[in-house]
Amino acid sequence: MTSPPTKQRVQQRCVFYLSGFDPRGGRYYHSLYQKEALLRPAEAISHLEAGRRTFSDGTLCWAVTSTQKKSTHHEHQNQAPTTQTESFTARTGSSVAQIESSTTHIKPCVTQTELSTTNTEFNFLSWDDIVRKHWPTGRLKHWLAYLQQTTTYLLGGFFGKPWLFGPQSKDALLPAAGLLFFPNILIVGTLLAMVLSACLTFGLMLQAAQPAWLAGLVSLLPAWGFWSWAHRYEASHDLGWIMRSYAFTARQSKGEVPELEARLTDFAQQLIARARQNRDDEILVIGHSSGAVMAVAVMARALALCPELPSLKAKLGLLTLGQCLPMLGWLPGANTFRAELRTLAHAKGLFWVDISAPSDRCCVAMLDPYTVCSVEPAPNQQGSQFLAVNPLFHEVFADQSYHALKKNAFQLHFQYLKAPPAAGAFDYFDISAGDLSLTDRFSGQILLPLPKDFKAQTYLRLNPDLKLSETEALHHYRQHGARENRAYRLVLPADFDAVTYLMLNQDVAAAKIDAEVHYVQHGQFENRRYQ
């Protein structure tokens, strides 16, 4: 088995960050990063210091210094070295071999701890001015704008899309589609309740022989009550932000936001200019929420304008957090976006990691965006690498805190950018500013292709140390077994008979070992008889 590639520590990184559909600009996100970096748990791998915000060529940016400890061994030759031959056990895949090694011992060996430093430059790619321009103020105005844009989703067959995929994909897609549809119920229900309650009150007042003017005034009271309730409900559940975001996405799909298209191309040019400086070990584009759509567009346009981008010094990484790409990719007019996804799919040298939680109703988690958006991947694995990761929020929060977090969709959707209460599988700050590139940090989790002749039962028989279900065995082989060269098929002689093998090899029978497995793993190499 070939040894894994050496992980090179990142000394200099450049991050291009794109926020979601949010009128708050770079000042807010810089303050959030500074504050949350200080709230990381004490057992975090690295120590971060986020500097003050500055402006470079009109782009708001800030520097982050990450310090992590690494162990080193220093050998002192204060006595003559001795050479001896020893044997040790080495595990190669699923087999164990004895290896003779001639080693030179120099004593004593002192272990010390050194500090490794990574410098990261965060560049906030601002489009919040465009968001504010398309942020209707006044509840009635933004309600009407939302209802108008909802027709784009209805006429485009958006709400039928989740049913075209398998059960697992459908379960992941339905919450986001449902969150889009629910405000329509709120709006229409509120307006109907206002009209009906006003009419009913007006009729009752007239029956009570009250003057028409007084009946009209009183009938406004229940209508105002429903209107106020809807306002409180929308604010407490952050539905106004969600509704405006979906309406903007519909306009984007129809090409009604030309200023955004020009801005994204400008961002791509910034990325190319930085890469050509050959200053960085890694260039990382990060997009959160609907900013993931923008991050995809920026990376795709940079690759289209500069095809040699992956061959430059800096490793290219694309990190999306809480992505909702199908919300745009499913719309009929989103041909430009689907073409950008196709560019990424064929971009060899690009590593894309999406970190989205299944419990986050504002995102589409654990799905391949190429497949979901009907984009064919590159043939023979010649394109980019994509990995979907679950941040496992439930493992770092106490049960009560996690249940409270899930109730607030907006707060959970922003948890990706916040410090976890305890060290866990996901640390946004270590990924964005730590000493490992996105590729080195996550490439070991990429699922390798499953052989056509793979059978889970056979894999588990040949690897009895794996106490897994058949479904888990499929995932284990793709993530670990293939890299460990674990056996997955029984290659037996045509005339092999298990009963005869056990009769001729009583020690195997006495040990109650699977005859076929024993022959494949040991018997054929020991020239054991089987007939």
The H or E element that residue 313 is part of is none
pLDDT at 78: 42
Interatomic CA distance for residues 112 and 70, integer angstroms: 9
Lowest mean pLDDT among 102-111, 405-414, 484-493: 102-111
CA distance 202 to 401: 47
pLDDT for the residue numbered 531:
82
* Phi, then psi, of 83 in degrees rounded to 5: -115, 135
Buried b (16+ CB within 10 A) or exposed e, 93-112: ebeeeeeeeeeeeeeeeeee
- The CA distance from 309 to 468, in Å, is 42
Strands 59-75 and 109-124: antiparallel
Q: How confident is the model at residue 226 (pLDDT cuts 50, 70, 90)?
A: very high
The listed range with the strongest mean pLDDT (107-121, 201-215, 482-496) is: 201-215
Residue 407 sits at φ, ψ, to 5 deg, of -70, -25
Give me the pLDDT at residue 6, please: 65
Q: How confident is the model at residue 13 (pLDDT cuts 50, 70, 90)?
A: very high
The whole-number pLDDT of residue 77 equals: 42
pLDDT for the residue 530: 86
Q: How far is CA 212 from CA 122, 194, 196, 385, in A?
A: 65, 19, 17, 71
Q: Which of 140, 172, 134 is nearest to 363 (CA)?
A: 172
Assess whether pLDDT exceeds 70 at residue 39.
yes
What secondary structure, in 3-state letters, does 211-227 show?
CHHHHHHHHHHHHHHHH
The residue that leads in pLDDT, 437 or 179, is 437
pTM of the model: 0.77
What's the confidence (pLDDT) of residue 110? 46
> For 454-495, what is each residue's pLDDT tens digit?
888 888 888 888 888 877 787 788 777 887 788 888 888 888
- Per mean pLDDT, which of 45-54, 210-219, 280-289 is the most reliable? 280-289
Q: Is the pLDDT of residue 86 over 60?
A: no
Residue 331 is predicted with a pLDDT of: 92
Q: Higher-confidence residue: 101 or 218?
A: 218
- Radius of gyration, CA atoms only, the chain: 30
Q: If pLDDT is split at 50, 70 and 90, which confidence band does 515 have?
A: confident
Interstrand relation of 385-389 and 350-355 (parallel, antiparallel or unpaired) = parallel
Give the β-pairing of 95-105 and 82-92: antiparallel
Higher pLDDT, 475 or 371: 371
β-bridge mates for residue 101, sequence order? 86
Single-letter amino acid, residue 337: F
**b/e per residue 448-478 (b: at least 16 CB within 10 A):** eeeeeebebebbbbbbeebebeeeebbebbb
**Residue 356, number of CB atoms within 10 A of its CB:** 27
| pLDDT of 74 higher than 90 | no
* Alpha-carbon span 222 to 201, nearest angstrom: 8
Q: What is the pLDDT of residue 169?
A: 66
- Could you report the per-residue pLDDT of 128-174, keeping only the tens digit for each? 999 999 998 888 888 988 888 889 988 888 878 887 776 666 777 77
Q: Which residue has the higher pLDDT, 216 or 531?
A: 216
Q: What is the pLDDT of residue 107?
A: 42
Q: Could you read off the pLDDT of 243-271 as tens digits, one per residue? A: 999 999 999 999 999 999 999 999 999 99
Q: What pLDDT shows up at residue 523?
A: 87
Q: Which amino acid is at 270?
A: Q
Report d(CA 6, CA 138) in Å as an integer: 56
